[in-house]
């Protein structure tokens, strides 16, 4: 298939789902499949894909939302940078994340300099245009985003830009998946692996993970045909008693990934232990600037300290992130916590599980 409408062909989607249902019938039990990426979760909700499958298929959302897995202690340093008089540059999803009754949007309303960017290259242009002001980028994202920030740091070096620094809150997906699969309270039969991240890191990093935990996994794109095909492929593996990494998203993902992007990321950043919301501390699951680029470290330069905050009473965002709870199991869901009044980041982000469920539920009412 060459054109986007072909990946949204309803008849094809239904035919694939029917074949998947035959596998479910053959297995004769509940099957739990985790869609790791938040964009997959949103696509499943937006296109109503869950309704195509038998009730024995349980789709579980995973830790594939960067805003959602970033702990409050990480957000607290971004708030501090703004409070110290620095101009803070963030992606739009961050503006409404609640922290102790405040948000970056409310800080902006108080007169602090908080601006939305759509790419780290926007930050580069802004810093170059306003050389007399100090800027701080909030670096939040997975392997998809971190090479762009690494490239921006290299551009700062090449152009002699000295007024732009970074708070690195980046996360790496494979270590988090390993932590999830080691958990005793989660029973996952298969994983839909993230297409965007896999475009960068390729297939290779998942091979050892799948072999270690003996679990079917399929890298998938984000259109309806992609997602139902990935579910079909996982169920087919289960029926055939195979445990492999398969690549449904072959139009974009290669075995070795994007070699240039990986090289740039590794040149600027090094792996470090990192705290995840809902998953705790995971070894070498984050990224920090290498010593050659330490000048650009906003945390060190401005003495930013992660501050532990009190979890909002009743909020299950951490449990939702790790797939052990569904949004509707949270007592705050839709009653108190809504997109217009988010209690946790899972209801804020465009990739958040709670937001996906909320909009899906609203469409069915």
| DSSP SS3 for 111 | coil
Q: Is there a contact between 140 and 23 (Cβ–Cβ < 8 Å)?
A: no
CATH 3.40.50.11740: does it fit domain 1-312? yes
Please list the pLDDT of the chain residue by residue as tens digits (365 residues): 567 788 989 999 999 999 999 999 999 999 999 999 999 999 999 999 999 999 999 999 999 999 999 999 999 999 999 999 999 999 999 999 999 889 999 999 999 999 999 999 999 999 999 999 999 999 999 999 999 999 999 999 999 999 999 999 999 999 999 999 999 888 999 999 999 999 999 999 999 999 999 999 999 999 999 999 999 999 999 999 999 999 999 999 999 999 999 999 999 999 999 999 999 999 999 999 999 999 999 999 999 999 878 888 999 999 999 999 999 999 999 999 999 999 999 999 888 999 999 988 876 55
Closest residue by Cα to residue 137 from 98, 170, 99, 107: 170
Q: Where are the domains of the chain?
A: 1-312, 317-364
Q: Distance between alpha carbon 178 and the CA centroid of its chain, in Å?
A: 16
The count of residues in the chain is 365
Q: Minimal CA–CA distance to 277: which of 140, 156, 113? A: 140
List Cα–Cα distances, 35 to 50, 168, 326, 353, in angstroms. 12, 26, 13, 11
Distance CA 353, CA 45 (A): 10
Under DSSP, the state recorded for 49 is G
Q: Could you tell me how far CA 360 lies from the centroid of its own chain?
A: 19
State in Å, rounded, how far the first CA of the chain is from the last one: 35
CA distance 234 to 326: 22
Positive or negative, the Cα torsion across 351, 357, 360, 365?
Answer: negative
């Amino acid at each position: 298939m060459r054109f986007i409408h072909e990946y949204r062909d309803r008849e094809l989607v239904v035919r694939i789902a029917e074949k998947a249902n035959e596998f479910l019938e053959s297995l004769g039990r509940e099957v739990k499949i985790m869609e790791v990426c938040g964009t997959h979760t949103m696509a499943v909700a937006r296109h109503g894909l869950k309704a195509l499958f038998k009730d024995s298929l349980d789709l579980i959302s995973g830790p594939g939302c960067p805003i959602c897995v970033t702990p409050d202690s990480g957000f607290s340093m971004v708030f501090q940078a703004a409070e110290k008089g620095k101009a803070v540059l963030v992606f739009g999803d961050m503006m409404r994340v609640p922290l102790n009754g405040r948000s970056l949007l409310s800080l902006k309303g108080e007169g602090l300099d908080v601006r939305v960017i759509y790419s780290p290259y926007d930050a580069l242009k802004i810093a170059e245009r306003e050389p007399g002001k100090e800027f701080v980028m909030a670096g939040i994202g997975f392997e998809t985003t971190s090479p762009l920030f690494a490239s921006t740091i290299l551009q700062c070096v090449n152009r002699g830009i000295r007024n732009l620094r970074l708070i690195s809150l980046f996360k790496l997906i494979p270590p988090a998946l390993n932590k999830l699969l080691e958990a005793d309270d989660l029973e996952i039969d298969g994983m839909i692996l993230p297409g965007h991240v896999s475009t960068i890191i390729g297939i290779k990093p998942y091979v050892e993970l799948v072999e270690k935990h003996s679990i079917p996994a399929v890298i998938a794109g984000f259109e309806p045909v992609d997602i139902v095909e990935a579910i079909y492929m996982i169920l087919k593996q289960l029926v055939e008693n195979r445990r492999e990494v398969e690549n449904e998203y072959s139009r974009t993902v290669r075995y070795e990934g994007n070699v240039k992007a990986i090289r740039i990321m590794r040149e600027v950043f090094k792996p470090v232990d990192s705290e995840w919301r809902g998953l705790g501390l995971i070894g070498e699951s984050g990224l920090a600037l290498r010593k050659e680029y330490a000048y650009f470290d906003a945390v060190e330069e401005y003495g930013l300290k992660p501050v532990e905050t009190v979890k909002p009473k009743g909020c299950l965002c951490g449990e939702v992130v790790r797939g052990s709870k569904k949004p509707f199991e949270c007592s705050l869901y839709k009653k108190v916590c809504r997109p217009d009044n988010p209690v946790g980041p899972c209801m804020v982000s465009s990739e958040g599980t709670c937001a996906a469920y909320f909009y899906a539920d609203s469409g069915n009412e």
